[in-house]
Amino acid sequence: MFSLQLRDRGAQFARSPVAVLALIVLILLPLVALFAPLIAPQNPYDLSQVTIFNGRLPPGTEAFDGSMTYLLGTDEAGRDLLSAIIYGLRISIGIGLSSALIGALIGASFGLLAAYHGKRVDQAIMRIVDLQLSFPAILIALVLLATLGSGIDKVLIALIAVQWAYYARTVRSVALSEMAKDYVAAARSQGLGAARIMFRHILPNCLPPLLVILTIQTAHAITLEATLSFLGLGLPPTEPSLGLLIANGFEFMLGSEYWISIYPGLALLILLLAINIVGDRLRDIFNPKLEA
């Protein structure tokens, strides 16, 4: 019966051609990122392949030694921008997805804990969740980065800290409504342990809404990381995500070398649009009670 439901929902998803296109993009981009070394025309961080003489060349220019053509031009250090974008995609997706998954794990655990224990535990956890959610994500990230300092691990911590509360709130509300159902009482009466009931019985029912938030939160995390990197508070220059690439190009944009900033921006835009369109469609289909 569950697979039938799934097939129905798949059919419902496919009714929107835009959503299908977004889904295809969403499958392709991570593959591109994963196989970056095989796909990218050059390794932008191998100094033997990059020379400053090729700096800031417009799209379609050939390298001075004729070794390759820069389809999207080069940045100020003479890197092929297309390659830099493909490698940047790798970092952006990697950080966004891993922070969303860890955030989901932590948030879902606290959500289940709150729902299962109720009373004091629930109140304490939800107080913190509500308080955190009343502050904008970027502010919390700024506070953490200001006190912790910068670096890839700090950025990850900040992104996870920003996200966990969303998962906790959603999982708690779904779990609460699940626990009111008969099968949980039945499982309890059979003497099943709390952990077993939570993870084997309640958690699976939380998965559809969790999936929806996971999609949307991944987009949020990627955006936030890009924003922080753009502001100079995120990743170090050795880990150039799309946000950092855009920031690097910003100073040249007011001249006429727009491509250094705009193409990484377009890549980021396509990635985020694809995630959000798929997420939006999923939300319409599963229709869980989600707040904006």
Residues within the interface to other proteins (CB under 8 A): 18, 131, 134-136, 138-139, 142-143, 145-147, 219, 223, 226-227, 230-233, 243, 246, 250, 253-254, 258, 261-262, 265, 268-269, 272-273, 275-277, 280, 291-292
Helix (H, G, I), strand (E, B) or coil at 70: strand
| CB 158, min distance to other proteins, A | 12
CB of 242 to other proteins, least distance (A): 9
Least distance from C-beta 143 to other proteins, angstroms?
Answer: 6
What residues pair up with 62 in beta bridges, in sequence order? 69
CB of residue 243 to other proteins, shortest distance in Å: 8
Residue with smaller CB distance to other proteins, 49 or 96: 96
8 Å CB contact between 141 and 162: yes
For other proteins, give the closer residue by CB, 107 or 243: 243
| Residue 55 · residue 77 · CB < 8 Å | yes
Q: Which is nearer to other proteins, 27 or 146 (CB)?
A: 146
Helices (H), 134-202: 137-148, 152-179, 182-189, 194-196
How many CB atoms within 10 Å of residue 152? 17
* Residue the block writes with tokens 């939380």: 206
Kindly state the smallest distance separating residue 140's Cβ from other proteins, in Å.
9
Q: Can you point out the beta strands (E) in the chain?
A: 61-62, 69-70
Of the pair 18, 27, the CB lying nearest other proteins is at: 18
Residue 74 three-state SS: strand
CB-wise, 41 or 151, nearer to other proteins?
151
Asked whether 216 and 276 are in contact (CB, 8 A), the reply is yes
